Amino acid sequence: MVSFRYQLLFLLLSVSVPPLVVVSVIDVVTLRDLAEVLAERLGLSVEQVRQESVFVRERVLFDVVVALVVLCVVVGVSWWWVGRFNARLEPLIVVVERAGRGDLRDEPRLGKGGRGRGNKDGLARLGVSLRRMVVSLREHQRLTASLSLARRVHESLLPAMPRRVCGYSIAARVDSCDFLGGDYYGVVESGAGGGLAVVVDICGHGASSALIAARTQGLLRGVDRASPSDVVAEVNRRVCADVPDMTFLSMMAVVLAPPPRPLCYCNAGHPPGVLYRAERDDVVWLGGEDLLVGVKDDWCYREHVVSALGEGDRLVLVTDGVYEAMNKNKVLYGKARLAALVRAHKGETCEALLDTIFRDVYAYQGGVKGDDDITAMVIAR
């Protein structure tokens, strides 16, 4: 901004100096010869013509002096005005530059003369607007930092993966579409040599769903039941009693018993799991959806039994964020695609198959951001 003052001065000088040079040349050289020519042509004496020339020269010089005075006044006023404008605008520029670097400690303030003119002063209104912007950005920065901390706390509640429980290899992962997600997975080992694997999807996402997910984790740790239907029923009673109304969640609970005991599961309104049987090279769906958790506190949930996992079998539990992932044409990912993917990658480890599932979902979306959390758990012998 300061360089503009010098540009203005250069422009005014470039306009005014050439005429002065021309006048000087005419005064020194041309007028002398012109007097002699006019005297000869008009029949006047050279002295008369020279007197008239002196008059004209003085008039021209007077006009030039007046023009120079006006020019100096214009330059001085312009110089003063630009300097005053810069002095008032500089604090705003400094704060905006700092805000662009993420430094929101200062609020914009106009320089001297920036107050007392009400709404007619554009700079005053600009300063007020920028001050409000910085305050809003500061609040947003604080909220973002708090959400980042809450996200780290939420992620720390998830069990470390991969792990082995009762001879089963387990890998799981949650990818939240927001700062805080409403999906949860857990693996609880029991004293009888078995374990419990659960995948939970709270309706909605964000801070409220993340808090309910954390509450659900605490409920699961406090449940000591061998039957998956009893586990879901107990969680349902506690959610209905402790969590606010109109809060529902789907839940898949699978009891991991030592082979050759069968695999027992309970599905409370959750998307069906994919069970790949290596011996038959076929896929079995773990359906039997029951009522969502949190709807009716005395609901009796049903239990389902399938044969134990054999060598090469894969059990994949997901939330609806996988099945309902959409591509650019608004076409759902779907259950058939997941089943075909699990079957095509049947020889991969749990961790590798888990990565394959997430890569395929993202590739299917083609850069389209989903509006739901994505969670998957892979269990194998």
Q: Are 339 and 315 in contact (CB under 8 A)?
A: no
Q: What span, in angstroms and rounded, lies between the C-alpha atoms of 304 and 288?
A: 8
At residue 332, the pLDDT reads 94
- State whether residue 188 is helix, strand or coil: strand
Query: What is the Cβ-side half-sphere exposure of residue 232, based on CA atoms within 13 angstroms?
Result: 35
**Where does the pLDDT of residue 286 fall: very low under 50, low under 70, confident under 90, or very high at 90 and above?**
very high
Which of 22-26, 247-251, 267-271 is least confident?
A: 22-26
Summary mean pLDDT of the chain: 77
**pLDDT confidence band for 1 (50 / 70 / 90):** very low
pLDDT, tens digit (0-9, with 9 covering 90-100), for 184-215: 888 887 656 678 899 998 876 666 666 676 67
Q: Lowest-pLDDT range, 80-94, 258-272, 331-345, 360-374?
A: 80-94
Q: What percent of the chain has pLDDT over 70?
A: 62
Most confident range (mean pLDDT) of 21-35, 46-60, 106-120, 300-314 is: 300-314
pLDDT at 142: 75
Q: Give the model confidence (pLDDT) of 57-73 as tens digits.
A: 677 778 788 888 888 88
Checking if the pLDDT of 160 tops 90, the result is: no
19 preceded by a cis bond (ω within 30 of 0): no
d(CA 364, CA 324): 11
Residues with Cβ < 8 Å from 213, sequence gap 6 or more? 154, 157, 181, 182, 183, 184, 200, 202
Per-residue pLDDT band at 9 (split at 50, 70, 90):
very low
For residue 99, what pLDDT band results from cuts at 50, 70 and 90? low
- 210: which 2 tokens? 């993340």
Q: How confident is the model at residue 319 (pLDDT cuts 50, 70, 90)?
A: very high
Strands of the sheet containing 163-165, edge to edge, are 163-165, 168-175, 374-380, 314-318, 273-277, 282-286
Most confident of 91-105, 218-232, 242-256, 264-278: 264-278
- Structure-model confidence comparison of residues 58 and 29, the more confident one: 58
Q: What percent of the chain has pLDDT over 90?
A: 29
Residues 120-140: what's their mean pLDDT?
69
Alpha helix segments (H runs only) across 163-248? 207-221, 228-242
Where residue 114 falls among pLDDT bands split at 50, 70, 90?
very low
DSSP category for residue 150:
H
Name which residue leads in pLDDT, 177 or 202.
Answer: 202
CA distance 184 to 210: 9
Q: What is the pLDDT of residue 116?
A: 43
pLDDT at 139: 77
Which helix (H) or strand (E) segment holds residue 289: the answer is none
Cβ atoms of 376 and 357 closer than 8 Å: yes
Whether the predicted pLDDT of 283 surpasses 90: yes
Give me the phi and psi of 114, to 5 degrees please: -85, 0
CA nearest neighbour of 316 among 279, 293, 269, 348 = 348
Range from 103-112, 238-247, 350-359 that averages highest in pLDDT: 350-359
Q: How far apart are CA 126 and CA 108, in angstroms?
A: 9
Res. 115 pLDDT band, cuts 50 70 90 = very low
- Per-residue model confidence (pLDDT) at position 353: 96
Coil vs helix vs strand at 28: helix
pLDDT at res. 24: 52
Span 292-301, pLDDT tens digits? 998 998 999 9
pLDDT at 76 over 60: yes
Amino acid identity of 12?
Answer: L
Give 79's pLDDT tier (boundaries 50, 70, 90): confident
pLDDT of residue 109: 61
